[in-house]
Amino acid sequence: MTARSCLSIILAAGEGTRMKSATPKVLHKIAGLPMVAHVARAAEAAGAGDLGIVVGHGGEEVQKAAQGFAPEAEIFVQSQRLGTAHAVLAARAAIARGYDDLLVMFGDTPLIEAGALASARQKLAEGAAVVVIGFRTPNPAGYGRLIEKDGKLVAIREDKDCSDEERMISFCNAGLMAISGAVALELLGKVGNANAKGEFYLTDIVEIADRTGLNVVATEAGFESVLGINNRVELAEAEAIWQQRRRRSAMLGGATLIAPETVYFSHDTEIGADVVVEPNVWFGVGVTIADGALVHAYCHLEGASVGPRAEIGPFARLRPGAELHEKAKVGNFCEVKKATVEKGAKVNHLTYIGDARVGAGANIGAGTITCNYDGYSKFFTDIGEGAFIGSNTSIVAPIAIGARSYIASGSVITDEVPEDALAFGRARQKTLPGKGKELRERFASAAAAKKAK
């Protein structure tokens, strides 16, 4: 397989009107990644070397997105929507280079697995000219049937054109196809448009190839793998299937998910062995969880890394740039953004740490805030190793808090604190005996007067 060259063409020109969205259909996301990018990843995993994406008129958004997930992909424009075969021929220049294999996929089938594509390519390597990927379903109504004879595929029959006997067939067309590069342009060129819609259908090459004596076969993929997305309901169904797969993979890889159905992963989530994830946790894009970490319930992580045996939550939020080292702890109702919490440091509760370093072994008291933003710019706070920050402290950046220093509770710290120092940043308390009673009586009188009006 590795010696065979391959061009993968992803058809992404559909308008997706049933999505009722200004966003192109193939750019709607599953697990934080556009559907078309999932298809590109599957092709890459199946050994497809080069990638072409066919977009429609005004497909600049898809082209721009492709620069992120497949920067080497060639973009081809189908200026008129005249059918699937016509769309494939938009990439004629690439096909003409003479690849061994040609894979044709759709940008709205995000659950396609690399194994199904690899199996189709294997059939090409064994001598098939055309390989159609199909699926079986107990309810085939509405799907095109794969008509086989003596182990070969001879036709794809649309449901409305099937005989009563053919309607009993449960092997259906998924639309995805592999074609021998040696005959691809010849077969595509013979596709006509003598049909009700006047379009050029890719499925017609099955009968064309069979008539010319070429070997045409079908391979089978799971129904879920070839699920096409046409509306928001199906998008949600695909998301659920993807999440179920990923949860299973995480658990088989050594992670414990207490309530798997309540944990949501992104396409790039990395989760190690002996990780424990409690219920209702969301992993956004760019999250890495190292071995032995504990993620308590109701946490939200995005663009963050959690080190070995670190602990977060419950109700913690790690925003992009949050980096927890080994045995670090970020507790309940804490938020960390673009900050490093070093080995063994504790940010236990009701705290915001942003644009900062919390040194190894430091302790951050409840209600502490790094005041990192002045409305125009962000500033950095450096908290040294072993420092103790008392509860309800505001640290005004830019500032450095020395190692092993001690900040008194309730302080507003605006100046640098040296190592081993004790710092107070609060006004001296003043107590006025009896003034509390006097104040309450005044407020009560004013409230009564207001109510009487």
213 and 238 assigned to the same domain: no
The pLDDT value given to residue 340: 98
Residues 304 and 280 in one domain: yes
Residue 222's CATH number: 3.90.550.10
Distance CA 177, CA 155 (A): 13
Amino acid identity, residue 43? Answer: A
Quickly tell me which residue has 């942003």 as its tokens. Answer: 354
Task: Summarize pLDDT for 180-212 with one digit per residue, the tens.
Answer: 999 999 999 999 998 888 889 999 999 999 999
Residue 179 and residue 287 in one domain: no
- Verify that 150 and 265 share a domain, yes or no: no
Q: Which domain holds residue 392?
A: 232-423
Could you give the number of structural domains in the chain? 2
Note whether 38 and 136 are same-domain residues: yes
For residues 117 and 213, state if they share a domain: yes
Q: What is the pLDDT of residues 329-359, one digit of tens each?
A: 999 999 999 999 999 999 999 999 999 999 9
pLDDT, position 1: 43
Q: Which of 28, 86, 267, 349 is catalytic?
A: 349
Q: 366 and 247 in one domain?
A: yes
Residue 444 included in any domain: no
Q: Is residue 1 domain-resident?
A: no
Angle at alpha carbon of residue 264, lines to 258 and 269, rounded to 5° = 105
86 catalytic per annotation: no
The predicted pLDDT at position 142 comes to 87
Residue 443 lies in a domain: no
Q: What is the pLDDT of residues 361-412, one digit of tens each?
A: 999 999 999 999 999 999 999 999 999 999 999 999 999 999 999 999 999 9
Which positions of the chain have pLDDT values less than 50?
A: 1
Same domain? 239 vs 221 = no
Query: Which pLDDT belongs to residue 15?
Result: 77
Distances (CA, A) of 308 to 289, 385, 442: 8, 19, 58
